[in-house]
Amino acid sequence: MKGLGAIERQMSQPIDIDEIDVMILKALIKDARARLKDVAEDCGRSSVAVLKRIERLRSLGVITGATLFVRPDVLGLPVIATMGINSSRKHEDKIINLIDKQINLVDPSASIGEFDLFTLVYAKDLAELDRISGVVKQRSGARKVTVILWTGPAHMIFGNIDIQPKRS
């Protein structure tokens, strides 16, 4: 099984990316639907070259898709909260399963620090938020569920991530 470990290590090695790849990623963070021609112009490369790079980043699993961000109140979900869950280890899988089934809970993650699990909740009003929190508590065996309500507009500044080129 020695070979398998080496393969696993290789698969988890960070991918080499250069300055042009970084420029492309930054352009697609700004707008994943940007026209290839415009991205190529911004990077000072041909459309063909940029397309090849994007295909490479996709095939290596760096680019996995795209996300559209919509004002949640337009979809009747103006209430946003983070739910921090404290549980015993044996309940963690149960809780993650529950979160996957509950349509209002998104972006669940196991965490270390203040909470064991962290998830984002969208609800139509505070009463629904309260209900969801109750369901999670009851059905999951969680020791404690902490609801952290987001007030004011959430500021999403994804372009602020400072991706660096990497060469091994």
Partner 1 sequence: MDRLDYFVLSELLRDPRLSFSTIAKKLGVSALTVRNRYEKMKSEGIIFGCVVSIDLSKLGYQGKAFLMITTSPNCKKSETIEFVKKITDVIVVSEIIGFFDILAIAPVRDIKNIRRIVNEVRDLPGIERVEVTFTDDTSFPVKANYGELFSRRSLNMATA
Q: Answer yes or no whether residue 48 interacts with partner 1 by CB under 8 A.
A: no
Minimum Å gap between C-beta 93 and partner 1 is 16
Name the β-bridge partners of 24: none
Q: Which of 39, 58, 57, 59 is nearest to 48 (CA)?
A: 39
- Does residue 40 touch partner 1 according to CB under 8 A? no
Q: Least distance from C-beta 138 to partner 1, angstroms? A: 21
Neighbours of 39 (CB within 10 A): 22
Taking residue 33's Cβ as centre, other Cβ atoms within 10 Å add up to 7
Q: Which of 141, 138, 87 is nearest to 117 (CA)?
A: 87
When binding is defined by CB under 8 A, the residue of 46, 88, 97, 109 that contacts partner 1 is 109
**Least distance from partner 1 to the Cβ atom of residue 114, Å:** 5
Tokens 């404690």 locate to 144
Tell me which residues touch partner 1 (CB under 8 A): 12, 14-15, 17, 25, 28-29, 31-33, 60-72, 74-77, 80, 82, 84, 100, 103-104, 106-115, 118, 120, 122, 146-158, 160-163, 166
